[in-house]
Amino acid sequence: MSDWTKDRRHSTEQDRRSNGPSRWSNCRKRGVDGSLRAGGGERENNNRHPDERSSSFTTPESTGPVSRCSMASDWGSLVQEDEDIRRDVQRDMQRYRRRILGTEVAQRERKTSSGSSGSHDSKDEDNIETDEAVLLRRQKQINYGKNTLAYDRYIKEVPKHLRQPGVHPKTPNKFKKYSRRSWDQQIKLWKVKLHAWDPPAGEDQEETQDHEEQLELGDVMDIELDFPTLLPPCAAHSLSVQGEDEDFSGTPVKLQKTEDVEPGMF
């Protein structure tokens, strides 16, 4: 087995450019333009290591980036998590649309009655992030923030109606269009704020166990805060049935610190 093929697998774009598209294409007598190359005869196979890179540069084969963002590492759990999170995101998406369209209709009615013009029906639609890959990535980041003792303490100590914008941490809205940079910054600030609720050292950890349910609901409620009004009764009702299959959702163990578990985040 030759080492150079491995090296090439990990070589950067820059290396490729400086070495040409393929070292072996240098064997060709003619270039792409058809003209003869200067030194273009046959080459010996011992030119195999032109960049002299040490084999330590290569990284071992990984099972992929998924394992980096997840707390489980066995394939069975990873696939289950992937399926759960995807389903949750799709479900949230439907609710969010329903809600956003609902408020839009209400606003339009108010506007027409007060005589102001402006029909930007589709504007809110345009501002929705619909790329599933982006939504999944964001949901994972949010889950990391929520999967902390600090978050449990926060939602327990500060009831929803007492939370003030700007004062209390507020989960970023994953459905709004933001640049990657903006989103990551929002997540960062949110987590910094959450750290204010880190448990004092040595506190009994048992106590936080029974808040799983509240945490799940909080997920949806946070988004609702963005909209002043009108949850149709049916939507409110659907919140109560969502726990049905959480027994195999593989909720990971609560962690005291978030920093330790997210090397792949930034």
Partner 1 sequence: MENSTDDYKIQSLDVDAQKILKTALKDPSAVNLEKVSNIIVDQSLKDQVFSKEAGRICYTIVTAEAKQRTGLVFRKNLLNRLQQEFNDREETRARSLHAWTCFVTFICNIFDYLKVNDMPMVVLVHPVFDCLMRLGQPDALMNEEEVDCLVLQLHRIGEQLEKMNSQRMDELFFLLRDGFLLQDGLTSMARLLLLEILEFRAGGWMLSGTAHKYYYSEIAD
Residues that bind partner 1 (CB under 8 A): 1-2, 5, 8-9, 22, 24, 45, 61-64, 66, 74-80, 82-83, 86-87, 90, 245, 247-248
Nearer of residues 78 and 149 to partner 1, judged by Cβ: 78
Closest CB 2 distance from partner 1, rounded Å: 6
Q: Give the chain's largest Cα–Cα span.
A: 84
Nearer of residues 14 and 62 to partner 1, judged by Cβ: 62
Contact yes or no for 169/195 (Cβ under 8 A): no
Closest CB 184 distance from partner 1, rounded Å: 21
Helix (H, G, I), strand (E, B) or coil at 258: coil
Nearer of residues 61 and 157 to partner 1, judged by Cβ: 61
Nearer of residues 83 and 259 to partner 1, judged by Cβ: 83
Helix (H, G, I), strand (E, B) or coil at 190: helix
Closest CB 30 distance from partner 1, rounded Å: 16
Closest CB 27 distance from partner 1, rounded Å: 9
Closest CB 66 distance from partner 1, rounded Å: 5
**β-sheet bridge partners, residue 209:** none
Contact yes or no for 208/155 (Cβ under 8 A): no
Cα–Cα distance for residue pair 22/247, rounded to 1 Å: 52
Nearer of residues 78 and 223 to partner 1, judged by Cβ: 78
Closest CB 22 distance from partner 1, rounded Å: 7
DSSP sequence for 16-66: HHHH-S-GGGGG-SB-TTSPBPTT-S---GGG--TT---GGGSPPP-S-TH
Closest CB 14 distance from partner 1, rounded Å: 16
Tell me which residue of 174, 175, 160, 168 sits closest to 189, measured CA to CA.
168
Contact yes or no for 154/198 (Cβ under 8 A): no
Burial pattern 10-24, b for ≥16 Cβ within 10 A else e, equals ebeeeeeeeeeeebe
Nearer of residues 21 and 232 to partner 1, judged by Cβ: 21
Q: How many CA atoms lie within 13 A of 160 on its CB side?
A: 13
Contact yes or no for 175/128 (Cβ under 8 A): yes
Nearer of residues 39 and 76 to partner 1, judged by Cβ: 76
